[in-house]
Every structure is written in C-alpha cells, then in structure tokens.
A and B are shown apart, each in its own frame.
Chain A
C-alpha cells in the first residue's frame, strides 16, 4: 500500500509523480500535438455522419428533398452505413442539425463562444455565470480541504499515534468511491437548514482532503536521514526542523497534491449539483441538457468544465514553477 496513488478518488488527474517526471522531460514540441488534435477533430467530424444520419434524413425529407428509401419506418430497418451510402448528397446536413445526437465541433465551439461571450454574465444562459457558481463552490471547498489536509499531515508527521491510527484509513479512503455520499450530504445539510454554496463546498473539501493528506505526509517525510541529522547536530527544535527543512522540502509534493486536489474539487462541485436538481452551475447545465435532450448544451458545458479544470491546474502549475524557481528547486 506504500505506493498508493495520490489521485485515486479524484475522478480527475491520473498520473503519478514518476509519470509527471517522465512527461516533463519530453520537451515542448507542438507539432505532434497539433497533428493528434487535428486527427481527433477529423474523427469527430466523421463520427457525426453515422451518429446523426437518421435525424439528417428525416429533416431533409421534411424540407422536401428526395430521400432513399422514403419514410422513416423503412429507414429504421437499415444500418447507418447503408443509409449514408444511399444518400451521399444529403450527408453534410449532419453537421448543422438543431438537435444532433453528436454535435459537430464547430457547433460546440459556437455554443461555447455564445455562452461565454454572447450573453450578459448575470444571465442564466451565460456559461460564465454557471462556471462562476461551480467555481466559487470549488474554490471554497478546495481551500477548506487543503487547509485541513495539511494540518492533519502535520499532525501525522509529528505524532506516531496519529500516523499509525489515521494513515491507513486515509490510504484506504483513496480506494473507495467516496463521491457516492455526495447526494446524501446535500440532502442532510439541507434538512438542517444549510443550503447554497456550503453543501457543494463540503463535498469539494472532502474530495480534495485525502489526496492532500497522503501527498503532504510523503512530502514532509521527503528529507532524508542525513539532512535531519544535520539539523539535529545544530540542536534544532521540532518547530525549526519543520519550518526550515520539512516545509520547504515538501513544496514539490504540495503542488502535485494541489493539482490533484483542485481537479477533484471541481468534479465534486459538479457532481454535487446533480442530485438536487440545482438551478445553476455547470453540473446543473449538464443535467438540464440531458433532461431536454440538448446535446449541444451538454457538450458546451462539458468543454466549459474542461477549460475550467485546465485553467485551475495550469494556474497552480504557474505558481509552482515561479516559486520553485525562486527557491532554486526549478528545472
């Protein structure tokens, strides 16, 4: 169990410190990345054709075009590839349907741009508004979870009893899908009169809590025996050892935990919006979209959530690079 993944309950980041180290050493050449992304987008466009062919032909027939075979009932017997072969000229319609099963990339981009820039930020149609609702809960929960997690890690490093009692449970908790208790927390807190941002923040907090505990215990333990011995020969107190050695040495681990924790917090806030039928937030957008079959809206909300996650992780990465470089620990 000593090799427990930091990221397990997050539903988000899935990479270990070792992988990150390998990934960092790879250089930053953009060419292959652009090529892979372009291929993915091309696959996406191609996939729109078979996914949407039924609706496309239905719409074309209603608009008066000649569709072979005629009538939706006859078409339902055929596979999507056969339908595509029978009506090649009508296929481009699959990229501009109003309610597609799989929206084309440019449709999602338009919806995303419209949601971000085309609406006033207080409107319920604005993705900025929904993203802020989710982000505020995420950040509050992340701050609480990280703070408590670091405190517990400090306790665990300094107390043998706490280490032996709590640490195994913290590690086991990483193997358990603790997100399953999210709906219950919302309802229980609601029944005692707490609602709004706090229940979501609580869920965000406990999802970021355990990765931070496990990561920070490793971080505080990272100074080797030689370094600890040196401070002991200086007659340093426990507080001095902590402040001058353990804390600085733990910073790389802190940032790794923070990245995992913030991704987990965001997932927590989104999932927390599902079971109560929340009115606002990215999770509520996902749920409303799935109720009303608005696939473009779901995809736009999904990409907004992805951008938010990437932004948060990127921001922490920036702080990390700046701070570690100042401390002489950067690459």
Chain B
C-alpha cells in the first residue's frame, strides 16, 4: 500500500514540476517542448510500476514496466524475427507495392478526366470502409506466409494514397498552369516540373496515413493465420498462454516500428517539401 502512496506523491510532485515548466513566462523553447512530455511519460511509467507492485497486480492482468523491459531484452532474437516477418516482409513490401500502384493509377486518373470523376468518389468511399476485413480472403488466396500480409497491406494503403495524390495533382492555380503554357511546356514537363512537386504535400499526407494502415493490416492479417512467427501471431498465441509480458514486449516493438516508420516518412517529407509554408521557419 505504501508504494501506491509513493506513486501518488510522485505523480503530484512531477505534475507540479510540469506545471512550473509549462507556465514559465516567455515562448516555450525546443528544450521545454520536449522535456515536458518526456517528464509526463516517465511519470506514467513510474506510477504504473509502483501501483502494480504496491497492489500486487498479477502478471496475467498487467505486468509492470520493468518486467516488460526485462522480457524485451531477454527475447530480443525472437522479437527481431517477428519484426522482420511482420514489418519488413509483410508491411514494407506491401506498402511499397500499394503506394506505387496508387501513384500510377492516380497519374492515369489525372490524365483522363472521366476516370478521375469516377475513381475519386469510389476511392473516397473505399477509404472509409473496414478494409482489414479482406484479410481472411487474401490469407485464403495467398497462403499463411508474408505474401498474404503484403496483399492485405496493398489493399489497405491503395485508396488513401490514391485519393490524396489525385487531390494533390489538382492543387495548382490557373496562373501557374498558364505560366507553364506560355513556356510552351508539354504535358510531361508540366507534370514533372509543376504539378508533381505541388502535389507532394498531399502525397506525403497519404503516405503518412498509410504507414499506420500498413502496420495494422500486417498485424491483423496474422490473426487469420500465419507462420509460427510474426507480431500478430505472437500476440494472439501469447495472449492464449497468458504470457502478457511477451504481449507487451511485442506491442513495444509495434509502437517503435510504427513511430520510426512514420518518422522516416515525415523526415523525407520535410526534405522534399521544404518550400511549403508549413515547413518554413
């Protein structure tokens, strides 16, 4: 019980620290912008640890962060194999194929006005549907290995990227297009030098949405059948064995992979769309 008390005191103390940090006058610098959420995260972890220990919460309900960390370190080879199976083989390959296909279709749809008018509403509609539901069908077609996961990912990322790219390709003003026409630019030149660069903020928006969708697709598809490794497989079997420390370790892997994947795409975005107002300093 005393540990719970410590947890409460710790919460109050660190929260008070954050209040002081946040309310200090003047604009918040980069340091404080990072420090405050980090303190908050550490507070949560400490309170979690202390409450779980103080109340003797059984492992099958909620393991303490230290237990999860120990499991994470102890099971690194297994976690790495799962990471390669689900993220690298399933999600990344599907992501690349789906985004390229969507990009190609978007350029085609942009060229053919009729196609654009027909595809965009259909794409918008599809993007709102629970496409993960196609997982059992695709697992049935392509077998249990990573190919079926990549197929699910392709279907999931296709429509968001398509819709965003088509919208982006229209994001030039009449003035800009007129300028290209006065230069006597061909369709390809206009596309390459004006419209594709102008579309990049939209394209990257779609690509960023698709990163999370790719991971969700790859993980959920494993619930319908997988080889004996993979994040989704490990989560569903470990839950069955009540080995919740392993489950949490896999969740940490998925979270790290998701943030890293998103971060990489966001980093490329700032490089590519450095001219956009949202990236200017």
Identity of the chain B residue whose Cβ is nearest the Cβ of A266 in the assembled complex: B130
Is B128 within 8 A of A164, CB to CB?
Answer: no
| Chain A residues with CB below 8 A from B202, complex form | 16, 18-19
Is A32 within 8 A of B118, CB to CB?
Answer: yes
| Chain A residues with CB below 8 A from B167, complex form | 18-19, 22-23
Bound complex: CA of A181 vs CA of B205, how far in Å? 26
Is B259 within 8 A of A172, CB to CB?
Answer: yes
Bound complex: CA of A287 vs CA of B140, how far in Å? 12
| Interface segment, one of B66-74, B172-180, B189-197, B208-216 | B208-216
Q: Which of B144-172 contact A (CB under 8 A)?
A: 156, 159-161, 163-164, 167, 170-171
- The answer to whether B121 has its CB under 8 Å from any CB of chain A is yes
Main secondary structure of the interface of A (DSSP, over half): helix
Contact of A175 among B135, B161, B163, B262 (CB under 8 A): B262
Contact of A14 among B28, B134, B213 (CB under 8 A): B213
Decide yes or no: A188 and B121 within 8 Å by CB, A1-B266, A309-B129 being known contacts.
Answer: no
Is B128 within 8 A of A191, CB to CB?
Answer: no
| Chain B residues with CB below 8 A from A166, complex form | 37, 40
Bound complex: CA of A298 vs CA of B210, how far in Å? 25
Bound complex: CA of A62 vs CA of B106, how far in Å? 46
Contact of B136 among A33, A101, A286, A313 (CB under 8 A): A286
Is B37 within 8 A of A36, CB to CB?
Answer: no
Identity of the chain B residue whose Cβ is nearest the Cβ of A34 in the assembled complex: B118
Is A188 within 8 A of B60, CB to CB?
Answer: yes
Is A169 within 8 A of B129, CB to CB?
Answer: no
Is B220 within 8 A of A188, CB to CB?
Answer: no
Decide yes or no: A14 and B210 within 8 Å by CB, A35-B118, A310-B125 being known contacts.
Answer: yes
Interface size class, chain B: 35 or more
Decide yes or no: A36 and B119 within 8 Å by CB, A169-B37, A184-B239, A290-B140 being known contacts.
Answer: yes
- Render B261-278 as a binary contact track against A, CB cut-off 8 A, 1 for contact: 111001000000000001
- The answer to whether B22 has its CB under 8 Å from any CB of chain A is yes
- The answer to whether A8 has its CB under 8 Å from any CB of chain B is yes
Is B130 within 8 A of A183, CB to CB?
Answer: no
| Chain A residues with CB below 8 A from B75, complex form | none
Decide yes or no: A23 and B164 within 8 Å by CB, A165-B40, A184-B239, A305-B129 being known contacts.
Answer: no
| Interface segment, one of B2-10, B48-56, B242-250 | B242-250
Bound complex: CA of A305 vs CA of B217, how far in Å? 17
Decide yes or no: A313 and B128 within 8 Å by CB, A177-B219, A177-B254, A275-B223 being known contacts.
Answer: yes
Contact of A164 among B33, B121, B205, B240 (CB under 8 A): B33
- The answer to whether B228 has its CB under 8 Å from any CB of chain A is no
Decide yes or no: A2 and B278 within 8 Å by CB, A36-B122, A290-B140 being known contacts.
Answer: yes
| Chain B residues with CB below 8 A from A326, complex form | none
Nearest CB in chain A: distance from B230 CB, A: 11
- Render A163-176 as a binary contact track against B, CB cut-off 8 A, 1 for contact: 11111110010111
Is B244 within 8 A of A11, CB to CB?
Answer: no
- Render B94-128 as a binary contact track against A, CB cut-off 8 A, 1 for contact: 00000000000000000000111111111011011
Nearest CB in chain A: distance from B274 CB, A: 14
Nearest CB in chain A: distance from B45 CB, A: 12
Is A175 within 8 A of B258, CB to CB?
Answer: yes
Contact of B22 among A22, A37, A161, A301 (CB under 8 A): A161
- The answer to whether A3 has its CB under 8 Å from any CB of chain B is yes
Nearest CB in chain A: distance from B165 CB, A: 10
- The answer to whether A302 has its CB under 8 Å from any CB of chain B is yes
Decide yes or no: A168 and B37 within 8 Å by CB, A160-B23, A177-B254 being known contacts.
Answer: yes
Bound complex: CA of A188 vs CA of B60, how far in Å? 7
Q: Which 9 A-B pairs have the closest CB atoms?
A: A14-B160, A36-B118, A32-B118, A290-B136, A165-B40, A175-B262, A32-B117, A177-B215, A168-B37
- Starting from the known contacts A8-B212, A163-B22, A274-B223, 9 additional A-B residue pairs (CB-CB under 8 Å) come to A5-B208, A14-B210, A18-B167, A175-B211, A183-B223, A188-B60, A263-B128, A282-B133, A298-B136
Contacts A/B (CB < 8 Å), 11 sampled: A11-B220, A14-B160, A14-B161, A14-B206, A16-B202, A23-B163, A33-B118, A36-B115, A165-B39, A181-B251, A286-B133
